[in-house]
Structure 1
Amino acid sequence: MDHVPALQCTLCGETYDPEREIYTCPNHDGVSGILEVQYDYDVVLDRFDADLDGSIPSQWKYKPFLPVSADATPVTLGEGGTDLLAAETLSDRLGVETLVKDDGRNPTGVLKDRATSVSVTKATEDGVDVVTCASTGNAAASLAGYAGRADLECRIFVPGDAPEGKLAQPLTYGADVLAVEGSYDEAYDLSMAVTDEFGWYNRNAAINPFQVEGKRTVGHELAEQTRESVPDWVVFSMGDGCTIYGGWKGFREFHELDLVSETPKMLGVQADGARAIHDTFHDHDDVDDVADTLADSIAVGRPRNTLKACKALEQSGGTSVVVSDEQILEGERLLGHTEGIYAEPAGAAPVAGVRKARAEGIIDPDETVVIVVTGNGLKDTKSALRASGDPVSIPPELSSVVELFPDG
């Protein structure tokens, strides 16, 4: 990887060989020493076709920006290249011009496929046999799918209350799914322990430095798709914090390389029951490490990428908000009713976040907003039914329909 000179610690600045198998900086306790991939952008630009016409067949259009060898064969299922959709009806309801990037259209139904494709490609380059991660469900499904594609063994650690719909995917893909009798954070700690014990390749986005690099292709795509009219805001939900940072890093890179003229502000949205990044960014004295929200994909009590997430908010001139579970469900319902987009709760949280930011005067009515939907609603049908209600039961008689719809 001649375009990747080093991995650098975000805390102390120590650098490491990118070919070395290392997840975090050993100068710090636990996983606090998160590493950042450094690039030689002269080499990157020399290899990148900068014809930004909006045609994006997959995220691998940006392969020169990704931390894989130039001759690497990507492990891909066609991730990325998701459309940016105008949302006129939703715009009217939110009181601000809104576009939606629906990354629930990725192969396993989640934005995380961008990251998984890169990390599994790295794993195959390194010749590993087993990949692992902890997950509330989405990363588990994503890793299992790509491991199946690459013919790798996959072992997943999930909290015992993970939604059944999310566990069906990795099981179908052939993964060993281990339901830990505890929280996501406990499942995460166990996945780290077995990584140390067995040397399995760990996909956890919180600590694998190559994961966020795949996620940042959503920022590259948004920069290309909006280069004629860069939005004022891009909105992500936040769990561990690496997704919003990835989106910001990708967009920022294109600006610094003069591929786009400006950058948007980032709005991070957290559930009120899992708000550690929000509280840290706003300098609240009491940062609660308990996660209690139906939006399981962002139910993270101890985010490992708080530093990077706060950096994205600060550098972009953005901010964060928190929303209740009921507001998230209303956002899920609103997105479906107005635009026909089916999002899981974490994917719909940005809708609730925009509504709150409008009410608080954070987003002005003359601004433009891009909402990034990170996961498909089929991931959590139980929450979807809670948001929208049950079907109406009727007898098989015409009169019953006429009674319901007397005006036709």
Structure 2
Amino acid sequence: MGMKHVKTVACTLCGKQYDPEQVVYTCDEHDGVAGILEVVYDYDVIRERFEATVGGPIPNQWKYRAFLPVNETAEIVTLNEGGTELFDAPRLSDALGVRTLIKDDGRNPTGCFKDRASSIAVTKAKHAGREIITCASTGNAAASLSGYAARGGLDCRIFVPGDAPAGKLAQPLVYDADVLAVDGSYDEAYDLSVAVTEQYGWYNRNAAINPFQIEGKRTVGHELADQSVARGEIPDWVVFSMGDGCTIAGAWKGLREFYELDFIETTPKMLGVQAAGAAAIHDAFYDHDTVDDVAETLADSIAVGRPRNTLKACRALEQSGGASVLVSDAEILDAEALLGRTEGVYAEPAGAAPVAGVRTAREQGIIDADETVVVVTTGFGLKDAESAQKAAGSVERIAPSIEDVDRRYGDEQ
């Protein structure tokens, strides 16, 4: 059956079309990576194939296989990603002054949201007969891709900036990937990963240029719509942190598709959150001048100086009637601790940034007190334990005696 549900892959700038069955990254009519591509679907075919009940159980993201750009004959490489719960967060709601729900994608198999895309990448690479897969990463994509490459039997070669957190690099090493720490920034690691792709023909998973990666990420939008139907309400806002821009763009595409297919009656507004030291998408959305392309933030997963999917991210914010806010590193750390102590959710800094973003949006009058908000946490806290210690403080040491405990808690008795 091939991919009859996929019409084409088209350039977002000039509209030039490419065969969706070929390995293609960006439009050759534009220099560098300017010609970002978009997968275009035949929704009549998708509607016929999507037999799952909207509002019903979501075992994993492959409930939405009818929407995904993989060949019908492809062997799916999966670790049971997706299907993460959407749950009420009453204590966090009290702290933020607005009703808040959490979708914790740190519960994915390798501990991050990127598993949704990595499953697609390895599935497509294997179906295309590629034996080596690569990407650039600040850590999460490296861990995610390495795990799925191991599952699919592919060799994996990862390029990371030299200051990537050690906790994130341990994962790909366990998965037997080659991890190459580049003496430079994420953007330099990214450029190198593109160069080796062109020279050696390795399959490149970089979500910023691989048009099929954002399609896996959009399943979070499908799930949010699906879960909202089950709950009987559509949230007013859905909040994501932004790095390269493909995550929020993918989520919006999934939500919009369910609306256009009449599965939901309305769509939420998207709130994008960036660290103040890595604000390129925010600046582009509000037509601010970007000072430079150097990213400076402890939230390494969104430390991107030159986002490749700014166009798609800004389009998601605009089409949804949404907004963007900036938060400081201190506010991100405060949000990480707040998320943990109120709801027992342990998120890495980039995963906690949406909580800081909601607080900022409330202060700026973007989000009203009578609205409902969903924050999507995209990575598990153990990815960056060093930042967690900054957020929560250090261990208190005592002697092995009841007297020391009594000095600490005796007044409570």
Tell me the TM-score normalised to structure 1 length: 0.99
Which residue is equivalent to 2:252? 248
Rounded Cα–Cα distance in structure 1 between residues aligned with 2:166 and 2:52: 43
Q: Residue deviations 1:298-333, cap 9 Å, x none?
A: 000000000000000000000100000000000000
Give a deviation string over 1:5-47, Cα, whole Å, max 9, x none. 2001011111111112210001111001000001011111111
Percent identity of paired positions between Structure 1 and Structure 2: 70
Residue 109 of structure 1 corresponds to: 111
Q: Could you tell me which amino acid in structure 2 is paired with residue 125 of structure 1?
A: H
Q: Which amino acid in structure 1 is aligned with residue 402 of structure 2?
A: L
Superposition deviation, residue 70 in structure 1: 2.0
Q: CA separation in 1, counterparts of 2:253 and 2:291?
A: 26
Aligned to 1:223, which of 219, 222, 225?
225
Match of 2:179 among 173, 177, 180: 177
Maintained 8 Å contact 1:89/1:338: yes
Give the conservation status (yes or no) of the 8 Å contact 2:52–2:63.
no
Summarize the Cα distance change of 1:259–1:179 in structure 2 as closer, same or farther, 3 Å threshold.
Answer: same
Structure 2 counterpart of 1:328, which letter? I
Query: Which amino acid in structure 2 is aligned with residue 280 of structure 1?
Result: A
The change in CA–CA distance for 1:287 and 1:230 in structure 2 (over 3 A counts) is farther
What displacement does 1:85 show?
A: 1.2
Q: 2:243 maps to what in 1?
A: 239
Q: 2:11 aligns with which of 9, 12, 16?
A: 9
d(CA) in 1 for partners of 2:379 and 2:186? 18
Distance 1:359 1:3 in 2: 44
Contact 1:64 1:70 in 2 (8 A): no
Give the deviation of 1:50 after TM superposition.
4.1
Distance in 2 of aligned mates of 1:193 and 1:285: 29
Query: 2:294 is matched by which residue type in structure 1?
Result: V
* Contact in 2 for aligned 1:279/1:287 (Cα 8 Å): no
2:68 corresponds in structure 1 to 66
Name the SS for the 2:170 alignment partner: helix
Q: Which runs of 4+ in 1 moved over 6 A?
A: none
Superposed, 1:42-121 pairs within 5 Å as 42-121=44-123
Counterpart selection for 1:372 from 372, 376, 395: 376
CA contact (8 A) 1:280 1:287 kept: no
Provide the residue aligned with 2:332 in structure 1.
328
Tell me the SS of whatever aligns to 1:288: coil
User: Is 1:342 paired with 2:322?
Assistant: no
Supply the distance in 1 between the matched residues of 2:221 and 2:260 (Cα, whole angstroms): 13
Report if the CA contact (8 A) 1:48-1:62 is conserved. Answer: yes
Deviations 1:47-97 (A, max 9, x none): 101411331000000000000012322100010000001100000000000
Tell me what 2:273 maps to: 269
Instruction: Report how many residues are paired.
Output: 408
Deviation at 1:130, TM superposition (A): 0.0
Answer whether contact 1:239 1:303 (CA < 8 A) is retained: yes
The alignment partner of 1:99 has SS state of strand
State which of 141, 150, 154 in structure 2 corresponds to 1:152: 154
The question of 1:310 aligning with 2:309 is answered: no
Cα distance, 1:109 vs structure 2 = 0.3
The residue that corresponds to 1:402 in the other structure is 406
RMSD: 0.7
- What residue identity is the alignment partner of 1:267? L
Query: Shift of the alpha carbon at 1:287?
Result: 4.5
Q: TM-score, normalised by structure 2?
A: 0.98
Q: Which amino acid aligns with 1:404?
A: R
Superposition pairs of residues 129-208 of structure 1, within 5 angstroms: 129-208=131-210
Contact 2:221/2:253 (<8 A) preserved: yes
Structure 2 residue identity aligned to 1:126: A
SS in 1 for 2:198: helix
Q: Which runs of 5+ in 2 are unaligned?
A: none
Q: Aligned partners of 1:168 and 1:287: how far apart in 2?
A: 34
| Structure 1 residues not aligned, in runs of 5+ | none
Deviation per residue, 1:158-204 (Å, 9 max, x gap): 00000000000000000000000000000000000000000000000
1:288 offset after TM fit, Å?
2.8
2:364 is matched with 360
